[in-house]
Structure 1
Amino acid sequence: MTVTDAAIDRIRQMIIDGTLRPGDRLPRESDLAERLGLSRSSLREAVRALSLVHVLDVRHGDGTYVSSLDPGLLADAMGFVVDLHRDDTVLHFLEVRRILEPAATAMAATTMSDADAAGLGELLDTLGPEPTVDALVACDLEFHRRIAAGSGNPVLCSLIDGLSGPLQRARIWRGLTQQEATARTLAEHRAIQEAIAGRRPEVARAWATVHIAGLEDWLRRAL
């Protein structure tokens, strides 16, 4: 473990054990470095690294604070990681999405309000029978975002959001190269929406699995 890694771990432990809480201001750099037995340069590198993943918030002229640690804020870093990976590695992220999203869809079928479930149908109605690829992808992102939010679990929602947005390039690629992709996506979205509105969680889970597995299978064969 490098000195910087050790510094990151010690700050992380202070947050875990409650010494530092969301919104707290870190002690002065010299005081904190002495308290943790670190050089000021190592502490500075640790703070910089933790600010990049939104654990710390550096406010110039004011000090360094622990962020809100909101799951959505922390998930932004995961989305950045997905963006940097090659298409073959994106398959690993799709596999994770295939595990998480059907569970969130089943939860939405029991927790989402009637109005929000109906709103999913209205969202799909805006597309028409032959939408452009860009319109379809934008609707797809919003459709899945609403379902994840409808699960009622903000951590699960943030994880799915972090995985979903950065996979947009694969969605566009599929829409441009696979002729039946648009019709299949529209049909699967409608089946998912109807299962949620009908309060059939296991049916919703099954359709979500089929939907995501289709993109995963296409990308695997395309590569």
Structure 2
Amino acid sequence: MHKSERLFQLVNILKSRRFAITANELANKLKISQRTIYRNIQHLQSSGVPVEGEAGTGYLIADYDLPPMMFTLEELQALLLGSKMVSAWTDPQLAASAQAAITKINAVLPEKLKQQVEELPYLVSTFSHDKAHQEITLQLRKAITNKTCIEFHYLDVNQQPSHRITDPLGLVYWGAKWTLIAYCQLRSDYREFRLDRIQSIVSLTNTFDTNPQKNLAHYIELVKAKYQTKSDDQCHQ
């Protein structure tokens, strides 16, 4: 670990504490010697970071705004890959924010890191995410955020049309297609709807509430339990 990374972690640990933490505890957390902790504390104090305390009693930090974060190459790659996925696969507003984030990251990268980041081995495809898809995603995201009911026309796997009014709970990307997870008012139960099969959509004026038995996290838990049961049954066959 580089010294700059260690100092950043040290500041983060101190900022997260309400009470003083000893040099021994810090040394154990960072897996370095107490002597190195003392040197790092002195370095932070001489740099103007308001670290309070002393050896034997412990240290804490007063209110302090951290300087810009220092990321490792893999952390930068993760951030840029995530931003590219958001830019390609979500709605126009989030895509614009993702592009702005990419621009800010690239603007402060040293030349050596820029070349390494440009060689990112992942390619984010945009082929199946056209403008119509993005507009539907935007409308759904706003409805989910505002807890607004939606009405839409839908084609099932057999191309049979249906009309639904639902409480939209979340958007899930399963690795191939985006899916709306919603509580269907007609069926009084969770339903999944592929976004590429939604023909038209209208946001209604009436709103809905979530509860422990109607929310995205509860739906995901049900899915996990379902597939765990299937896995257990296969193991016992």
TM-score in terms of structure 1 length: 0.29
**Structure in which a larger fraction of residues adopt helix:** 1
> Larger Cα Rg: Structure 1 or Structure 2?
2
Give the number of the structure with larger relative contact order, counting CA–CA contacts within 8 Å between residues 6 or more apart: 1
